[in-house]
A = this chain, B = another copy of it.
Amino acid sequence: MSDLIADVAGRARDASTDLALATRATKDAALEAMADSLITDAVAILAANAGDVDAAQAAGVPDHMIDRLRLDQGRVEEMAQGLRDVAGLPDPVGEVVRGSTLANGLELRQIRVPFGVVGIIYEARPNVTADAAGICLKSGNAVLLRGSSSALRSNTAIIDSLRRAAASSGLPEDVVQLVPGEGHEAARSLMRARGLVDVLIPRGGAGLIRSVVEESTVPVIETGVGNCHVYVDAAADLEMALRIVLNSKTHRTSVCNSAESLLVHEAVADKFLPTVVAALQESGVLIHGDQHFAAYADVVAATDEDYAAEYLGLEMSAAVVPDIEAAIRHIRRYSSAHTDAIVTGSQSAARRFTAAVDSAAVIVNASTRFTDGGEFGFGAEIGISTQKLHARGPMGLQEMTSTKYIVTGDGQTR
């Protein structure tokens, strides 16, 4: 482990012990101060961001990446509002998860406590810096942030602003820190800091997440790859099915809860395929279909890779299945277990699908786009877990905590 990471993680650990004991009032005041500070420092933050954008443009970074990197006054105000929103949410720390009095009189309580030190490794969106810092602070965790090197000037300016605000509210400034060092080595040192960092959350593309999962000795919460399906059952209301397919695919294509694959029961294929193919193509979607879909103009033949693909764009794989069991088998084989939906009017089909499909979210008669912390009412979201350990699905403040047992007696022994 590098000395650099040992130093920042050690300071985060010290700060986390104070933060874990901070009252909600102190934490909320710090979040409000951070929001004010971002507004006050907006000129400096935007100047730093302009430096990042200039460097990225000079390096020939594609426009859609530049768009993610670029901040403006409106985005800074959104970051500030995000911090204020988190201040308004209930404090997860101290919540009693379960409790009982044992036969011998011991009083048992399991309560939520912060993890301690959380590491976040993310790509070139500087707004993640403020969002992640806010969620970690509210849940009582010191945070080590490692964004993309291409956003280093922006992230440094944002973190400086947040740290000053934390200190002004009576919290240690080291509750928020940037992980120093160059490129992948810095991220790697964070991944190897077992014992100093309690949890690591990668936010970004499939490649980033895979590399963190492979290399990290710190426990990881895997987020976000979504090959989501919509299955249109024999008993579906086909008008509803069309609305749900279109919304799931086209409402926002670059996000993990957008649909990438369409399955249609053969009993409704003759009726549904002409409509859905026309509507998807009208929205600009390129369909990679099986032989049933490929009979339509401009549908290309799907490969095995297509069924496994997370397009994140205006493309969709599609197949006709003989029955619901075939749909379930297809989803088991290809789904990334993020979100899979059924459209059906049949209670037994809905029950079979929700029981047999093992994904973070299984949706009946609604768009896949609802798998989201905001939509679920969590108020804030650090990411969507696609692993089974600790948290699965949208992660809000509760998912950013561990628990401990407090056992109170009056002299009990065994």
Binding site for B on A (CB under 8 A): 17, 20-21, 100, 102, 106, 108, 110, 113, 115-116, 194, 198-199, 213-214, 217, 219-221, 237, 240, 243-244, 246-248, 251, 332, 350, 354-356, 358-367, 369-371, 375-377, 387-390, 392-393, 402-414
Is A360's CB under 8 angstroms from B404's CB? yes
Smallest Cβ distance from A342 to chain B, in angstroms?
10
Cβ-defined contact, A392 with B388, below 8 A: no
Further contacts, 19 of them, CB under 8 A, given A17-B356, A199-B388, A214-B217: A17-B358, A108-B376, A108-B377, A198-B389, A199-B389, A240-B411, A360-B404, A361-B405, A364-B406, A365-B410, A366-B409, A366-B410, A367-B413, A370-B409, A370-B414, A371-B405, A389-B390, A392-B402, A392-B404
Give chain A's interface secondary structure class. Answer: mixed
Check A393 against B364 for contact (C-beta < 8 Å): no
Min CB distance A366 to B, Å, is 3
Please judge, given known A-B contacts A21-B356, A389-B390, A412-B370, whether A364 and B404 are in contact too, CB under 8 Å. Answer: no
A370 to B408, CA, bound (A): 11
Chain B residues whose CB sits within 8 angstroms of the CB of A359 once the complex forms: 404
Are B367 and A405 neighbours in the complex by a CB distance under 8 Å?
no
Q: How far apart sit A404 and B355, CA to CA, in the bound complex (Å)?
A: 10
The interface residues of chain B lying within 8 Å CB-to-CB of A392 are 402-405
Which B residues touch A371, using CB under 8 A? Answer: 405, 407
Determine the chain B residues whose CB is within 8 A of the CB of A251 once the complex forms: 413-414
B residues less than 8 Å from A116 (CB atoms): 358, 388
3 pairs of A and B residues whose beta carbons are closest in the complex: A366-B409, A247-B413, A388-B402
Query: Which partner residue on chain B sits nearest A412 by CB separation?
Result: B366
Q: Cβ of B362 and Cβ of A411 under 8 Å apart? A: no
- Report B-chain residues with C-beta under 8 Å of the C-beta of A21: 355-356
Most buried by B among A110, A214, A413: A413
Closest to A115 in B: B388
Q: Are A376 and B358 in contact (CB under 8 A)?
A: no
Decide if B360 touches A102 in the complex (CB within 8 Å): no
CB-based contact B20/A358 at 8 Å: yes
Contacts of A219 in B (CB 8 A): 219-220, 387-389
Q: In the complex, A221 Cα to B402 Cα: how many Å? A: 13
Nearest-Cβ distance from residue A242 to partner chain B, whole angstroms: 10
Nearest CB in chain B to that of A252: its residue = B414
Of B20, B113, B366, B407, the residue contacting A411 (CB under 8 A) is: B366
Q: How far is the CA of A258 from the CA of B246 in the complex (A)?
A: 60
Question: Which chain B residues border A20 with CB–CB below 8 Å?
Answer: 358
Supply 22 A–B pairs (Cβ within 8 Å), ascending by A: A106-B366, A198-B388, A213-B217, A219-B220, A221-B389, A243-B411, A243-B413, A244-B413, A246-B413, A354-B406, A361-B406, A363-B407, A363-B409, A364-B409, A365-B410, A366-B409, A366-B411, A369-B414, A370-B407, A371-B407, A392-B404, A393-B404
